[in-house]
Structure 1
Amino acid sequence: MRNITSITSIRILIVEDEGIIAQDMQDCLEDLGYNVIAIADTGEKALKKVAETHPDLVLMDIRLKGDMDGIQAAEQIWELFQIPVIYTTGHSDKSTLERAKQTAPFGYLIKPFEERELYVAIETALRRYQLEKQLKEREEWLQTIFRSIGDGVIVVDTKYCVKFLNPRGESMTGWKQHEAIDEDLTKVFNIVHEKTRSAIENPVKEVLKSGSLFYLAPDTLLISKNGTEMPIDDSAAPLKNQKGEVVGCVLVFRDITERRQAEERNRALERAKLLEKQMAELQRLNDSKDEFLSTVSHELRTPLSNIKMAIEMLEVVLARQGDLFANPTADPSPAVRYFQILRDQCERQLNLVNDLLDLQRLNADAYTLTPTEINLQELIPHVADAFEICLQSNQQTLEVNISPDLPSLISDSSSLTRIVRELINNACKYTPPGEYIAVNACALPASEDTAKKEILQLSVTNSGVEIPAHELPRVFDKFYRIPSEDRWKQSGTGLGLALVKKLVDYLNGSIRVESSNRQVSFIVQLPFNYEKV
């Protein structure tokens, strides 16, 4: 409807079935300065005229001829066109008034009425209409804002009854607005503590009590109508009237699932960065350690070699001067025993230094390989023969089983020799008296896992001992020794198996250890034809 700026611009439709009364009303209105755009004498004609002219106000006689009386016509005019209606009637019985009240008219005049009464009724109706129109527009504007907000919004009154629920609130709570209206808030807005699962007191209660803004505690879960759970943040603010009295509360809540996920991603990223820094620091420390070991090994190797040579020369000199070393079958003198201790310990330290240097070269990819054709039927028994005295001393049995049709191997002979020697030596150290050691070599058929190439499988098995399952992954670690009742009973540095693992990897092979039924097996697989990767 257009804004009303003056009386002359106000357009009025008169609905009256008495011609003389209608004319009098027109004359009166025009005398007051109003613009009468038409007169209708039935409800049907009134609806037609309203549709054609769109007046600002309708003066409606309640008692009209025809099938539609004034009250029915007024209902349709308001429903279809939202135009205010003032009833005029000569009847003021209670039943008629009750019917008229149901249509919420903007005025009610009893005939006959004075010109001033008519003027007051019209101006009052138009003013009320303007105020209600502004109020409605404001409500629609507020509802549009609430509907457009990305957070859930619930408005409640002082009795905790829901009066408004926006679309986002509908999707989060699982309630439609028409279902939630006048429902208790705790039924629509069901919240619990995420960790304890206990119910949380609704924030609206605190807001209505204190009249100030209130926030939900952390770790709050909203449980929707269908049982879906989501973490939320929430704030509740009081609604106050012009007197400052709290008349309700606005609850604003949001789903923080994505925020939590983003925070978790950030925490994971921070952890990854920290781990990366720690790994870099560990690598630096490891490099420093390897460099230190390499430097120390080089520094130790020369003096140890000189000590070994001096021991050997001293033995020769003393042998020439007397019979100190002349009769090996006789009980050795203290001097001979001391020389043997010196020789053994010097050899042990040299082996440690050599192992450290070889590991360092393998780690630095500076280990030199010379692939040659190797006859395994000759190499393996030759390596095993060197342990004959040790085996007799320990009361152990060694079996060597090599397939007679095993083809020659193209690989590094010194590396393979060292692998076999170290595995047999390790077996000798840990095999109890009366038990056996078995060395087996055979060819495995080609398969998808071996890139369709035949490979060599070499295994060294010893009986009478078993490695706990939780210790197996650490067997090839540097300086690691399998726990026993007396960890110093067996000699060794804990570098032998680590060196074996590095050499096998360097030869493009694999090694694994298996242990069960009081038996330990080291299984090496190598390509028959070594190719540098």
Structure 2
Amino acid sequence: MTPARILIVEDELIIARDLQQQLTRIAHTVIGLSVSGEEAIAIAAAERPDIVLMDLRLEGRMDGVDAARHLREAFQIPVIFLTAYADPETVRRASQAEPQGYLLKPFEDLQLFTTIELALRKHSAERRLQESERRWEATLSSIGDGVIATDGEQRITFMNPVAEALTGWEFRLAAGLPLGQVVRLRQAGELTEPTAAEDAGDVVLVSRPGREIHVREKRSPILDGHGRITGAVLILADMTRRREAEAAFRQAQAEMEHAARLTSMGELVASIAHEINQPLMSISANAAALGRWLSHGPSGQAEVRAASERILRDSGRAADIVRNILGMARKAAPSSRAVDVNGLVRDMLRILEGKLRQHGVALHAGLQDGLPSIQGNAVQLQQVVLNLAVNAIEAMAGMPEPALHITSCLAEDGIVIRVEDNGPGVDSAQAEKIFDAFYTTKPAGMGLGLLICRTIIHAHAGSLTLAPNRPSGCIFQIHLPSCVAGKIPPSGVARQRHHPMHRAPRRREHQPRRQASPGE
């Protein structure tokens, strides 16, 4: 039994007192007695009883039916009607107020007890159901997709705010209308009642104002306790933002690919500019010398011829560099032939003459005689040695008694070329990054030279390493596999020597040593 707080509404006071005694005997509490509907509403608003026992015939303008309807709608308080009348019209009118019970006078304590107990339990169940429906409705109203529910005849019974926005229909206007009248899909089949959950895919929804919206449609049946279909749920997911996001992603991807192509093109252009700078400098120097010798008239013809030959040689070398770099960019196999290492080093030293004099660097060349040939691309290999030598010269700018050592010798499994300087050197942190793309220790450097050098040497199945020199400076060592295995007798080793043309020039005290310009 559930004890309850009960309001009695009865215009006959004797009956009301007798009813109060009956309720007290079965452990209920009477919170008040009323003789009119208006008074009953006022007491209910103040006391909020658990249940009201209401006579159908009351004094005043409001009878029991009207009062019961008001109590249910305003306060959700259940009502049990008490009456001596059971004619069809009275019962019909009383049922409109949706009472929780109907007692005919006179009644026994057991009848009263049973009716009140059932009414309280029924009201509690209805309240839980209403709370569940409110939670369900709140959940469906808060999700981001449009949700529409229909009954067994495909008439709309629910729409959440998103569905209202998509279709252009307010639920209060769409309730009870056929689904096809509210949800109009272009180029889609009839909206049939689904027998199982299904994904209809992307469709175009035409809203009430005529706006076309791309949506993704899903349908699921509503089943009763016996598995019978009693309706359906339609879910409409707005694909507009997703399509916009996909379009933006495709555009961003295209822009990234374009940027990557531009970056690759920029790297290629930068590498070409870096590699071709040396022969262009040599051409410029020889052209200047050519002009000076031409001013000497016939006596300078031999020098003019030599300078013009050097210009032709360096211009051809620049063209070879461009061809080789473009070949690497296209991943084409470079031309390969037997290469005399000492010969390409000697040619490189002639190119360096002007730069050595300009920076006051003493050259020490020690090239082992009789070295076997190596298989490779002479232009690329010479460019590697030249880049290493130029880097060393520029690194020693401002150092006292700068000296460059270039040596070659035979190793067990190939040939080794070493380029040494007595500059400031690099610390361990720099040494780890020195071969990385775009990493440079020079203010005007591009950070591509050493990367290109290592790439070329690796393409020749060799290695390029960096080690510290003592007491200062760097040692770059190139190891290349030779074509012919063999040993060179000790007498074939050329001794270390100073070439007269590479000796550091004597400087006047008032002439400061000039630093290399960024373009050199």
Cα 1:285/1:45, change in 2 over 3 Å: closer
Determine if the alignment matches structure 1 residue 199 to structure 2 residue 184: no
Q: Secondary structure at the match of 1:58?
A: strand
Contact 2:194 2:219 in 1 (8 A): no
Q: Partner amino acid for 2:35?
A: D
CA distance in 2, matches of 1:69, 1:226: 48
2:261 and 2:182 mapped to 1: Cα distance? Answer: 50
Contact 2:10 2:35 in 1 (8 A): yes
**Distance in 2 between residues matched to 1:280 and 1:105, nearest whole Å:** 81
Q: Which residue of 2 aligns with 1:142?
A: 136
1:234 deviates by 2.7
Question: AA paired with 2:27?
Answer: G
Q: Deviation string for 1:57-114 (max 9, x for gaps)?
A: 1111111233222122212222222111111111122221111111111111111112
- C-alpha contact (below 8 Å) 2:148/2:159 kept by paired residues: yes
Amino acid at match of 1:210: T
User: How do 1:358-507 and structure 2 match up within 5 A?
Assistant: none
Partner residue in 2 for 1:210: 195
Contact (CA 8 Å) 2:194, 2:232: kept in 1 or not? no
Corresponding residue for residue 49 of structure 1: 43
Given candidates 122, 144, 147, the residue that maps to 1:128 is: 122
User: What is the 5 A alignment of 1:76-475?
Assistant: 76-192=70-186, 198-202=187-191, 205=192, 208-212=193-197, 214-218=198-202, 220-281=203-264
Q: Report deviation, 1:190.
A: 1.5
CA RMSD of aligned residues (A): 3.5
Partner of 1:36: 30
Once the two structures are superposed, what CA deviation does each residue of 1:21-69 show, in whole Å capped at 9, x if it has no partner? Answer: 1122111111111111221122222222222322111111111233222
Alpha-carbon displacement from aligned partner over 1:108-163 (angstroms, at most 9, x marks no partner) = 11111122111111111111111111111111111111111121111112222111
Cα distance in 2, alignment partners of residues 248 and 272 from structure 1: 49
Whether the 8 Å CA contact 2:195–2:229 is kept in 1: the answer is: no
Change in Cα spacing, 1:72 to 1:276, as seen in structure 2 (3 Å) is closer
Q: Report what 1:529 is aligned to.
A: none
Please say if residues 211 and 246 of structure 1, whose CA atoms lie closer than 8 Å, have aligned partners that are also in contact.
no
Distance 1:124 1:100 in 2: 18
Could you say if the C-alpha distance between residues 284 and 26 of structure 1 is closer, same or farther in structure 2, counting changes exceeding 3 Å?
A: closer
Give me the whole-angstrom Cα distance separating, in 2, the residues matched to 1:108 and 1:42.
Answer: 19
The CA deviation at 1:286 is 7.0
Q: Secondary structure, in 3 states, of the residue corresponding to 1:216?
A: strand
Whether contact under 8 Å (1:12, 1:37) holds in the other structure is yes
Q: Which runs of 5+ in 1 are unaligned?
A: 1-5, 193-197, 303-349, 361-533
Residues 24/69 of structure 1: CA separation in 2 closer, same or farther (3 Å cut): same
Distance of aligned partners of 1:83 and 1:283 in 2 relative to their CA distance in 1, 3 Å threshold: closer
Whole-angstrom CA distance in 1 between matches of 2:204 and 2:226: 36
Report Cα offsets for 1:496-525 as digits up to 9, x if no partner: xxxxxxxxxxxxxxxxxxxxxxxxxxxxxx
1:330-382 CA distance string (max 9 Å, x none) = xxxxxxxxxxxxxxxxxxxx9xx99x99xx9xxxxxxxxxxxxxxxxxxxxxx
Q: What is the DSSP-based 3-state SS (H/G/I as helix, E as strand, rest coil) of the residue aligned with 1:210?
A: coil
Give, in whole Å, the separation in 2 of the partners of 1:84 and 1:239: 30
Shift of 1:174: 0.6
Q: Which amino acid aligns with 1:216?
A: A
- Superposed CA deviations along residues 220-249 of structure 1, whole A, max 9, x for unmatched, are 222111011221223222222222333222
Partners of 2:251 and 2:109 in 1: how far apart? 82
Residue number in structure 2 paired with 1:313: none
Do 2:199 and 2:217's aligned partners in 1 also have CA atoms closer than 8 Å? yes
Aligned residues: 295
TM-fit CA distance, 1:276: 2.8
Mapped to 1, the partners of 2:61 and 2:43 lie a distance apart of 17
What is the rounded CA distance, in whole Å, between the counterparts of 1:200 and 1:287 in structure 2?
60
Q: Is the 8 A contact 2:167 2:207 kept in 1?
A: yes
TM-score under structure 2 length normalisation = 0.51
CA distance in structure 2 between the partners assigned to 1:284 and 1:48 by the alignment: 88
Q: Secondary structure at the match of 2:205?
A: strand
Measure how far apart 1:14 and its partner are.
1.1
The answer to whether the 8 Å contact 2:157/2:175 transfers is: yes
Indicate if the aligned counterparts of 2:214 and 2:240 stay in contact, CA closer than 8 A: yes
SS at match of 2:201: coil
CA distance in 2, matches of 1:282, 1:42: 95
Cross-structure match for 1:23: 17
Distance 1:279 1:57 in 2: 81
Q: Decide whether aligned partners of structure 1 residues 76 and 273 sit closer, same or farther in structure 2, where only a CA change above 3 A counts.
A: closer
What one-letter code is carried by the residue in structure 2 that aligns with 1:269? A
Distance in 1, Cα, partners of 2:262 & 2:58: 95
Provide the rounded CA distance (Å) in 2 between the counterparts of 1:209 and 1:76.
41
1:67 aligns to 2:70 (yes or no): no
Cα gap change, 1:88 to 1:279, in 2 (>3 Å): same
Amino acid at match of 2:206: I
Provide the rounded CA distance (Å) in 1 between the counterparts of 2:157 and 2:143: 17
Q: Following the alignment from structure 1 to structure 2, what is the Cα–Cα distance between the partners of residues 201 and 72?
A: 46
Corresponding position of 1:334: none
Q: Kindly tell me: are residues 85 and 288 of structure 1, through their superposed partners in 2, closer, same or farther at Cα, counting changes over 3 Å?
A: closer
